[in-house]
A and B are shown apart, each in its own frame.
Chain A
Amino acid sequence: MDKIVYLDNAATTRISKRAIDAMMPFLTEDYGNPSSLYSLGQKSKVALENARKTVAEVLGSRPDEVYFTGSGTESINWAIKSAIKLKQDKGKHIISSNIEHPAVKNTLKYLGDNGYDITYLESDKHGQISLDALRSSLRSDTVLISVMTANNEIGTILPIAEIGKLAREREVLFHTDAVQAVGHIPTDVNELNVDLLSFSGHKLGGIKGVGALYVKKGLLLQPLIHGGGQERGKRSGTENIPGIVSLAAALEDAVGHMPLREVTRLRDKLISGVLKIPRTHLTGDPINRLPGIASFVFECIEGESLLLLLNQHGICASSGSACSSDSLDPSHVLLALGLSHETAHGSLRLSLSVDNTDEDIDFTLEKLPGIVEKLRMMSPLWNG
């Protein structure tokens, strides 16, 4: 396989050149522990605090509202599990959506199994949730709302600012999983009215194994991980300096590319080209969607087969089909849109970055129709 056409940037991204350059000294000469007093350690400490400032600038927050973690998933676990403890006298009711990433979904499932009452707002066919439904779900014992900023499978951008406004009015804490959003669309915490915001480095050009959590000033979140008291006592474990530096540098780089007009143009070109294939449907919101995510379902075929054939042409993509996971059910997100099981099995997500070119899109649009046709010719469900 010669050329790779990487269209799976929602899974992970290429590490940006700027991130590699920024982190390299901390993988080689500047290896000191930021908790150490001598100059080598303090060099790491300075890099850590500069990274924190960079992230804070992008989020519109104060630096001391930013905490670094080991992943987006860790940030999410910490935010949700500790936020509810702050309000334990008020009650045990949490509101979320039925299209959340497993990091939120399974954290809530765990809490649901341990005495919490979870309301999952139902999304419409575009993956949007209704503010009226949210309003009527709020109860006197509601302690937390957790709704994702943008969905990883279908790219739908949710009305976070409005949800946050409602949460403030009702004095309910609000967390958003912004893993797919930060570095892709504006995520100013003041505009979004959020109390807690989670994201990850490797979805925006940083390395894997580093995440961050924004915690609004005044929220005295208990730590999830106890130990040596790093991150101002809130998240122990020696700081992943190379990772944190890479996250900050990649974020600066990503924000510099916003508003991603070129990525959006390529996405739209891809969408209109793919939709020329018969019995093919766009999933997610046609308007309010992430610049990089094009997602579809093809009737009568199965996603894993599709991915294997795309891979033979060097095209990297994802699917929410059951066979691309370990369960028999297709993705809960696609089912939440009201798609049938059989249709949801034929899903494909193509996610772009600033590295993609017209040539990548043309190549994909040249190969995809034949691949879909080949699988349909094999399918007992297809009758022409």
Chain B
Amino acid sequence: MYSEKVMEHFTNPRNVGNMPDADAVGEVGNAKCGDIMKIFLKVDNDVITDVRFQTFGCGAAVATSSIATEMVKGKTISDALSITNKAVADALDGLPSAKMHCSVLAEQAIKAAITDYYEKQGIDPTSHVGCDMQCEGCGGSH
């Protein structure tokens, strides 16, 4: 049911782990539904220089987290914000329809981390992230 690429990222996840000195952290989902994604960013001069993730969830949740970290690494904040859930799913050669929400979660995790980054910089994230982070999908983490 999963593509080879999903299984490859699930088996050998990239950038997994904690980052105690992160510049920004975003966490979405909730344990009740069986998915939590946490993304840690290091940002230097508006460029994401390092990234880590921790995920509680199914194979697709781990794989989308893993590929999302690869997709944002080295990107500017604004480029990272343009990553859609569809781009995440496409990068994994697609996801089963029941698992598309995992790609949504990955997109939201990136946005949640960037929102945290803006807030720490004293910048109102609303106009940049394009979402007030009040929607249910973020698990109300913002």
Question: Bound complex: CA of A301 vs CA of B54, how far in Å?
Answer: 11
With an 8 A cutoff between CB atoms, is A321 at the interface? yes
Q: How large is the interface on A (under 10, 10 to 19, 20 to 34, 35 or more residues)?
A: 20 to 34
Given contacts A378-B62, A380-B38, contact A305 B32 (CB under 8 A): no
A326 and B31 within 8 A (CB): no
With an 8 A cutoff between CB atoms, is A300 at the interface? yes
A322 and B59 within 8 A (CB): no
Separation in Å of the A81 CB from the closest CB of chain B? 30
Chain B residues near A153: list those with CB within 8 A. none
Chain B residues near A304: list those with CB within 8 A. 58-59
B31 and A341 within 8 A (CB): yes
Closest to A324 in B: B58
A379 and B56 within 8 A (CB): yes
0/1 string, B22-34, CB within 8 A of A gives 1 = 0000010001111
Chain B residues near A322: list those with CB within 8 A. 33-34
Given contacts A301-B56, A308-B59, contact A381 B13 (CB under 8 A): no
B33 and A305 within 8 A (CB): no
Question: Bound complex: CA of A121 vs CA of B105, how far in Å?
Answer: 37
Given contacts A328-B33, A345-B31, A381-B36, contact A321 B54 (CB under 8 A): no
Given contacts A305-B57, A378-B16, contact A342 B98 (CB under 8 A): no
Separation in Å of the B95 CB from the closest CB of chain A? 12
Interface residues of B, count at CB 8 A: 26
B54 touches which one: A323, A341, A342, A378 (CB < 8 A)? A378
With an 8 A cutoff between CB atoms, is B115 at the interface? no
B34 and A305 within 8 A (CB): no
Question: Bound complex: CA of A345 vs CA of B33, how far in Å?
Answer: 8
Given contacts A308-B10, A326-B98, contact A380 B34 (CB under 8 A): no
Separation in Å of the A90 CB from the closest CB of chain B? 42
Chain A residues near B33: list those with CB within 8 A. 322, 328, 341
Given contacts A312-B11, A326-B98, A345-B34, contact A380 B56 (CB under 8 A): yes
With an 8 A cutoff between CB atoms, is A302 at the interface? yes
A305 and B58 within 8 A (CB): yes
Interface centre among A300, A305, A322, A324 (most CB of B within 10 A): A305
A378 and B34 within 8 A (CB): no
B27 and A302 within 8 A (CB): no
A380 and B27 within 8 A (CB): yes
Given contacts A305-B10, A308-B10, contact A381 B56 (CB under 8 A): yes
Chain B residues near A305: list those with CB within 8 A. 10, 57-59, 61-62
Separation in Å of the B8 CB from the closest CB of chain A? 12
Chain B residues near A312: list those with CB within 8 A. 11
* B window 1-45: CB within 8 A of A: 2, 7, 10-11, 13, 16-17, 27, 31-38
Closest to B13 in A: A378
Chain B residues near A328: list those with CB within 8 A. 33-34
Closest to A381 in B: B56
With an 8 A cutoff between CB atoms, is B55 at the interface? yes
B55 and A378 within 8 A (CB): yes
Chain A residues near B98: list those with CB within 8 A. 326
B55 touches which one: A341, A345, A380 (CB < 8 A)? A380
A323 and B34 within 8 A (CB): yes
A380 and B36 within 8 A (CB): yes
Separation in Å of the B17 CB from the closest CB of chain A? 8
Closest to B27 in A: A380
* B window 88-136: CB within 8 A of A: 98
B56 touches which one: A300, A309, A324, A326 (CB < 8 A)? A300
Closest to A378 in B: B16
Separation in Å of the A16 CB from the closest CB of chain B? 30
Chain A residues near B27: list those with CB within 8 A. 380
Separation in Å of the A262 CB from the closest CB of chain B? 34
Question: Bound complex: CA of A250 vs CA of B16, how far in Å?
Answer: 48
Taking Cβ atoms with an 8 Å cutoff, the residues of B that contact A are 2, 7, 10-11, 13, 16-17, 27, 31-38, 54-62, 98
Taking Cβ atoms with an 8 Å cutoff, the residues of A that contact B are 300-302, 304-305, 308-309, 312, 321-324, 326, 328, 330, 341-342, 345, 377-381
14 contacts between A and B (CB under 8 A): A302-B56, A305-B57, A305-B59, A308-B10, A323-B58, A323-B61, A324-B58, A326-B98, A328-B34, A341-B34, A342-B32, A378-B56, A378-B62, A380-B55
